[in-house]
Amino acid sequence: MTKDSTIDTLLQQLKSDNKAVRDRATAELWRIWFYQKGTYGLARIERAQLLLESGRVADAEAHLTETIEDLPDFAEAWNRRAILYYTIGEHDRAKQDCQKVVELNPIHFGALHGLGLCHAMLGEYREAVRAFEKALEIQPHAVVNQRLILECTVRLS
Summarize the confidence of residues 46-56 as an average pLDDT: 96
pTM (2 d.p.): 0.94
Q: Tens of pLDDT along 99-130?
A: 999 999 999 999 999 999 999 999 999 999 99
Total domains in the fold of the chain: 1
Q: How many CB atoms lie within 10 A of CB 75?
A: 21
Burial class (CB in 10 A: 0-12, 13-18, 19+), 123: exposed
Residue type, 55: G
Residues 38-50: b if buried by 16+ CB within 10 A, e if exposed: eeebeebbeebbe
pLDDT above 80: residue 3: no
pLDDT above 90: residue 55: yes
What CATH number did the domain enclosing 35 receive? 1.25.40.10
- Model confidence band, residue 58 (pLDDT cutoffs 50, 70, 90): very high
Query: Domain of 129?
Result: 3-156
